[in-house]
Amino acid sequence: MPALALAEALREESPGIDLLFFSGSKEQELRWYRAEGAEPVALPAAPLAGGWRGKARGLWAAWKSFRLARRALLEWRAHAVAGLGGYVSGPCVLAGARLGLPTVIHEQNAVAGKTNRWLAPRVTAVATTYPEAFARAGRIRRLVATGNPIRRRVLPPASAAQGRERFGLDPGRPTLLVCGGSQGAKRLNDALLEFLASPGLEEIANLQILWIAGAANYEQVRERLRNRGGEGRARLVPFIEEMGLAYAAADAVLCRAGSASLAEAAAWGLPAIAVPLPWAADDHQRRNAEWFAQGGACVVIEEQGLNARQLAGALASVLGDPVARGAMSEAARRLARPQAARDLARLVLETLALAKG
């Protein structure tokens, strides 16, 4: 999604620009690009994970991906390469650097991933969402904090009335948006079901929930919600394409602590209740959430302590107190970087122009 946001901004900043996309070979990734009218070059890249066999497979996949990327860049006559993180971007950016092209990478999270840590000293410029992301990296030629690129259709200015009408929500009730990522989050779903069946709901008696359960979990959650009699309080959906309207409808967000979720919530000035994924690489989700919490825009609940009582307390402190909610909303707006895609696009174009000059 950051890659698509960057592409959108590049086309706005430099009309007529030609863009070549690289992706992994997973069907979901390919569908995202094809939905935007792009046919990416699918690479067989794989993570360097597991024992020596897994690492060997990852290295072999990286070598094949490097050769495919290099060939495609030469055939395309590319002038620059931008990498948005992860093991897929590594071979592409390295191929560009070996061809002498200007290269830019972007790191979404508060702790840079292995690929970006390795690439950072080797590229022309590095962009970050969080200022301290590369604290453990070696020497970097140029480091710029741009924020996390967000697609234009996810950003304001849709109104709360438009959002609530789109999802059939009551315009006068406080609304919680629940999103655990594109695949949903089973632990968040379980805690919310427990909360809806508990007396803690009385703390926010008028609460309504716009709940993205995830396609894999939707049917099971719907059945359990029906059994608990919570259907009147929740609008349950497997997935939402129109996330801009979903954020517009909300007063607060319950989510994992992925960089995109927190950046999008902040762009809408929404307080976040974040549950970091405990096994995220280098514990980066906790660091993401802590950065927003230190800025006053986020309440953090550890997954180990996530239960109905904890959730009820967090919801009461955010949605049950208009003054606190207003302060968190202002804090979120201060931390937001809604122009991140534009700033990253300008960095890419500036890097290209300097190389040509």
What's the pLDDT score for residue 133?
A: 94
DSSP string, 289-349: HHHHHHTTSEEE--GGG-SHHHHHHHHHHHHS-HHHHHHHHHHHHHH--TTHHHHHHHHHH
Give one word for 182, left, alpha or beta, with left for phi > 0 and alpha for psi -120 to 50.
Answer: alpha
CATH code for the domain defined by 156-335: 3.40.50.2000
Cα separation, 178 vs 247, in Å, equals 10
pLDDT band at 183 (very low <50, low <70, confident <90, very high): low
Cα separation, 349 vs 51, in Å, equals 41
% of the chain beyond a pLDDT of 90: 75
Residues of the chain within CATH 3.40.50.2000 domain(s) are 2-152+339-356, 156-335
pLDDT in tens, 296-317: 999 999 999 899 889 999 999 9
pLDDT in tens, 230-273: 788 899 999 998 999 999 999 999 999 999 999 999 999 999 99
What's the mean per-residue pLDDT of the chain?
92
Give pTM, 2 decimals.
Answer: 0.93
Amino acid (one-letter) located at 82:
A
Helix, strand, or coil (residue 265)? helix
pLDDT in tens, 191-217: 999 988 876 555 576 899 999 998 888
Cβ pair 145, 179 in contact under 8 A: no
Confidence check: pLDDT of 170 > 90: yes
From 3.20.10.10, 3.40.50.2000, 3.40.50.720, 3.40.1180.10, which CATH number describes the 2-152+339-356 domain?
A: 3.40.50.2000
pLDDT in tens, 14-42: 999 999 999 998 888 898 899 888 899 99
pLDDT in tens, 150-167: 999 999 999 999 999 999
For 195, 271, 279, 328, the CA distances from 159, given in Å and listed in that order, are 29, 17, 36, 19
